[in-house]
Amino acid sequence: MINKQVIFNVGGALSSYLEFNDRRVVVDLGKSDDFNPVEDFLLPLAKIRKFTKNVFDGNKYEITQAFLSHQDNDHISSIIDFDKYFHPLYLTAPTSHPKQNKIFNIILKYILKPGGKNEYSEHLIKMMELRKPGHGKENPNNPKEPLDEDKNKPLVVYPDCADNIELFHIPADVCGSVDFKKSYSNNTSLVLFFNINSHTVLMPGDIMKEGIEYLLNNEADLYANIRTLGVDFLVVPHHGLSSSFSETLFQSMKNKKTNRLNIISEKRRKSDSDEQRSDVDSRYYSEDYSSGNNNLDGQRGRKTSEGHIVIDYSGIKPFVKIIKTEDKEALVNEFI
C-alpha cells in the first residue's frame, strides 16, 4: 500500500498529490512551463496503474478527492487539463453555487480579472455547478451515497478520507469584510490538516496571517490538532512570503515549531514586476521554527524549486526524497 505525497515543482505555483489507504487526493493544480501535474504525472500514473474509470463522466479516471484551495491561477491553472481526463468523486473548492448558503459564495468581482474573464476560474465554477453542495444526508444503507444537498456545509471531505483529513476555511462573506478584504482570494483558501500513519501535514494554501489567526481563534479542532498532535510538515502559506508569516501559527503548534520540515513553493520575483511582495521569509529555515527532524541532514526548510519533494509516510519516521524536475519517469515510478 502506498502512503506517499509529492509536492510538485511547478515554479511559483502549487500542486500536490497524496495517496494513502488506496485513496488518491489532489491538492491544487498549478502548473509551470516545465511541469504540468496532469500531463506529466497524473495521466501517466493512471494509465500505468489502470485507475478505475467513471462510466458516468466520459470514462474519465477516478480520483478520490480534489481540493482546490482557492481560485487564483497559480493554484488552478491545469484545471482544464484535469477535467479532460479525471473525475474526482468529491470536488471541493471555494466557489459560487446557487444551492449553497450565500455566505459561502465567493465574490466574483474579487476573483476574476478586470473585465470579468478568467478561463480557469470560470471553468472551475462550471464544474462545481454540476456538483451538490456538501455531502448532504447520508443513505444509511450506503454512507458514500448522498441523498441531498447540505447548503450550510458545502465544503467537505470525502467520507472515506474523513479519519485522515480535516478541512477548515473562512466563510467567503467574512473574507469580504474590512479586515480581510485586501487579500480576499488568498483568505478564502482551504486549510487542510492531514494525519497519515500518525504523521501530520498542514497545507494552508495562500491564507494570509490574519486569516490563519482567525481560524485558530474560531476553529477549536484546528487549534487542538496542531497543539496536541503537532505539525510534522508545513507547506508554508502563500509561497513563504513574509507578508503571510504567522508567529501565532507557530506559537500554537506543539513545541512551537514544525517537527520535520517547512516546504516552500517559492514565487520568484520578476525583475520587471511591480508586484508589492517580499522574498521567502528566512524564519522558515530557522531552528526556532523547525526542529529539522528528517533525513535531509536536518535541514529545516526546502524549496520546491530544487525539485519535486516526495514524502514516504509508511515508516515510523517519514522519508523525504528530492527528485529532479526533468526526471518525470522517476517521479511516476515512486508511486508504482
Query: Which CATH number goes with the domain that contains 231?
Result: 3.60.15
Flag residues of the chain having pLDDT under 50: 272-276
Residue 91, number of CB atoms within 10 A of its CB: 22
Distance (Å, whole) CA 92 – CA 90? 6
The verdict on residue 179 lying in a domain is yes
The verdict on residue 127 lying in a domain is yes
Residue 34, number of CB atoms within 10 A of its CB: 12
Number of domains in the chain: 1
Instruction: Report the pLDDT value the prediction gives residue 275, as an integer from 0 to 100.
Output: 47
Instruction: Report the pLDDT value the prediction gives residue 270, as an integer from 0 to 100.
Output: 57
Burial class (CB in 10 A: 0-12, 13-18, 19+), 224: exposed
Instruction: Report the pLDDT value the prediction gives residue 249, as an integer from 0 to 100.
Output: 98
The verdict on residue 226 lying in a domain is yes
Distance (Å, whole) CA 130 – CA 133? 10
The pTM of this model reads: 0.94
Integer CA distances (angstroms), 308 to 86, 193, 265, 322, in order? 22, 21, 10, 6
3 state DSSP class of 6: strand
Domain that includes residue 192, residue range: 4-269+280-333
Cell digits of residue 236: 508554508
The verdict on residue 289 lying in a domain is yes
Instruction: Report the pLDDT value the prediction gives residue 145, as an integer from 0 to 100.
Output: 58
The verdict on residue 247 lying in a domain is yes
The verdict on residue 274 lying in a domain is no
The verdict on residue 275 lying in a domain is no
The verdict on residue 54 lying in a domain is yes
Instruction: Report the pLDDT value the prediction gives residue 273, as an integer from 0 to 100.
Output: 46
